[in-house]
Amino acid sequence: MSGRDPELDRPELRRIDQTLTDYAVSTDDAPSPGFADWVMRSVANEPLPRRGLLVSLGLLLTTPGPYRMVAQAAVVVVIVVAGIGSGVAIGQIDNLFPDKVGTSPSPLPSLEASPPSSPRPTVSPTATPPPTLTPTRSAAPSPEESEEESETPEPSETPNPSETPEPN
């Protein structure tokens, strides 16, 4: 075993390689004479092994022979059938839960809920309170507004043109 690996170029690796090789050589023993009989007695009551379906299919696919083409065709058919079946199953699930499927994904609620919540407070709260407060002020005093130049900030906050017509 030693020296057969050109990868072991470093001295310390060669030393370990030699150590392991020497150890393996020094334990070059054989099992006791009745070992095989003992093993056969142990497997005597075991059920006979059988080749698994996947292993058999793999062997058919890889071993050259008359059944190779048949096995490859069978695999293609199985894959196609499985694909169709899974598509149908997904479609049925989609039909079972039409509402949940449409609304359950998290992006939709988060997208619909968040935009209205942020614009509306900026528009309607400032729009509705001022109409109740400022229109009464701005509508009535508006004729007198020339005197109240100091309150320009308040009217400037409600400068929305749509609000002044509303009280009218």
Point out which residues bind other proteins (CB under 8 A): 1, 5, 7-8, 12-13, 15-24, 26-32, 35-36, 38-40, 42-44, 46, 48-52, 55, 58-59
- Closer residue to other proteins in complex, CB, 5/166: 5
- Closer residue to other proteins in complex, CB, 15/120: 15
Nearest of 29, 28, 3 to residue 15 by alpha carbon: 3
Tell me how far, at minimum, the Cβ of 23 lies from other proteins, in Å: 5
Q: Which two tokens stand for residue 162?
A: 């749509």
Asked whether 135 and 168 are in contact (CB, 8 A), the reply is no
Nearest of 90, 111, 98, 160 to residue 131 by alpha carbon: 160
Tell me how far, at minimum, the Cβ of 67 lies from other proteins, in Å: 15
Tell me how far, at minimum, the Cβ of 48 lies from other proteins, in Å: 5
Q: Which two tokens stand for residue 18?
A: 């030699």
- Closer residue to other proteins in complex, CB, 58/125: 58
- Rg from Cα positions in the chain: 43
